[in-house]
């Protein structure tokens, strides 16, 4: 006799048994409040009822020319999602995203707690408790993929915040600060900038590496369209798609209009549902949650070769020199494993 060897179940899992002879197959659950079990011929179905672990026992009776084999007991772990986002593990959230049912469980704006811990650039986060929150389901799906959940970091005590280093609101020409580039340039656009390559997604001392390991495990690259040439131009061909794990939002994704970005960016982007619904664009300093800060966007400024777009302290669009340190509000995408 062969039997299911256990695993995770989010609704109903099936296995088909093979055994010599024609003895009847039976199955039982050690705890029907966690999972129930049924048999139809050679098919055994285990249906999840609640989160937890349970033993499933499968037996085969005696048949023609065969005595009854020893029963088989397997352990099944049920990871049934709940409608409270924060109650679910990141692995469960990824499972639900991959099923395409995320919007049936959760809503835009729902939050999940994380802790940021480690050195990011020149700034060290010491177990910063912060919330991520959903800003869209299947956002811009024609270009960025389906069965996705897009998140933003973050909130503290329900207040919108941006991550800031000790050089905030000053020009910082050396590496490791929360600026777009070490010098006054937007050459290479988003794809080549220090914010993307080093501060957010670098191999060491990056924000990605300071996130909890269980979150890092489910973040999947998403193709984001941006002016990836820079230099101060409205040239449409400068807008290309590049895969990102952590990314900054674009001007159009926040504002729903274009003011300072390459005019072709909006042709490849959509405003996030969170901001389209009228939620706040103003963010506060993560160390002073009542003090508004300006925060960077990934869109290079169309009219000048030294600047990127940002969201001002009143929520309005503007642009500033790339080497200035400002607030950082990274996004990420959870979806099926690529």
Looking at the fold, whether 25 and 89 belong to one and the same domain comes out as no
Of 35-39, 111-115, 296-300, 303-307, give the lowest mean pLDDT range.
Answer: 35-39
- Which pLDDT tens digit goes with each residue over 265-278? 999 999 999 999 99
- Same domain for 290 and 179: yes
Specify whether 189 is located in the same domain as 238.
Answer: yes
Specify if 193 maps to a domain. yes
Per-residue model confidence as pLDDT tens digits over 233-254 = 999 999 999 999 999 999 999 9
Domain match, 185 and 266 both: yes
Q: What is the pTM of this model?
A: 0.84
Which residue segment(s) compose the domain that 36 sits in? 7-78
Nearest C-alpha neighbor of 112 from the set 120, 121, 102: 102
User: pLDDT tens for residues 185-234?
Assistant: 999 999 999 999 999 999 999 999 999 999 999 999 999 999 999 999 99
- 173 with 289, same domain: the answer is yes
Q: Where a domain ends, among 59, 78, 97? A: 78
Alpha carbon distances (Å) from 325 to 18, 66, 126, 170:
64, 76, 20, 6
Least confident of 51-60, 118-127, 220-229: 51-60
Same structural domain for residues 18 and 135? no
User: Within this chain, do residues 41 and 89 fall inside the same structural domain, yes or no?
Assistant: no
Specify the number of domains making up the chain: 2
The CA-based diameter of the chain, rounded to the nearest angstrom, is 86
Question: In terms of domains, do 144 and 36 share one?
Answer: no
What token pair was written down for 194?
A: 């220090």
Asked whether the predicted pLDDT for residue 9 surpasses 90, the reply is: no
pLDDT at 8: 44
- Structural domain includes residue 61: yes
E strand or H helix that includes residue 152: strand 148-156
Residues 307 and 171 grouped into a single domain: yes
Q: What is the pLDDT of residue 268?
A: 98
- Look at residue 20 in the predicted model and tell me its pLDDT: 65
């Amino acid at each position: 006799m062969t039997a299911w060897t256990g695993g995770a179940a989010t609704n109903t899992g099936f296995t088909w048994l093979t055994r010599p002879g024609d003895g009847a197959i039976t199955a039982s659950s050690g705890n029907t409040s966690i999972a129930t079990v049924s048999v139809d011929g050679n098919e055994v179905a285990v249906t999840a009822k609640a989160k937890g672990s349970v033993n499933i026992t499968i037996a085969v009776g005696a048949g023609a020319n065969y005595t009854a084999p020893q029963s088989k007991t397997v352990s099944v772990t049920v990871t049934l999602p709940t409608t409270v986002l924060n109650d679910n593990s990141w692995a469960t959230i990824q499972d639900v995203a991959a099923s395409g049912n995320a919007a049936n469980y959760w809503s835009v704006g729902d939050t999940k707690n994380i802790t940021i811990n480690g050195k990011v650039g020149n700034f060290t986060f010491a177990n910063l408790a912060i919330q991520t929150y959903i800003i869209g389901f299947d956002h811009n799906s024609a270009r960025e993929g389906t069965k996705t959940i897009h998140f933003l970091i973050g909130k503290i005590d329900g207040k919108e915040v941006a991550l800031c280093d000790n050089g905030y609101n000053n020009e910082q020409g050396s590496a490791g600060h929360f600026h777009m580039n070490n010098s006054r340039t937007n050459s290479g656009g988003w794809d080549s900038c220090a914010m993307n390559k080093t501060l957010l997604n670098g191999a060491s001392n990056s924000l990605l590496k300071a996130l909890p390991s269980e979150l890092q495990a489910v973040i999947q690259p998403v193709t984001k369209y941006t002016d990836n040439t820079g230099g101060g131009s409205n040239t449409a061909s400068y807008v290309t798609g590049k895969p990102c794990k952590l990314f900054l939002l674009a001007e159009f994704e926040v504002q729903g209009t274009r003011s300072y970005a390459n005019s072709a960016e909006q042709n490849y982007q959509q405003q996030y549902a969170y901001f389209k619904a009228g939620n706040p664009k103003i963010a506060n300093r993560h160390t002073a949650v009542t003090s508004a800060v300006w925060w960077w966007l990934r869109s290079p400024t169309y009219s000048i070769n030294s600047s990127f777009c940002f969201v001002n302290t009143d929520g309005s669009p503007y642009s500033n020199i790339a080497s200035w340190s400002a607030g950082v509000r990274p996004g990420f995408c959870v979806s099926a494993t690529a």
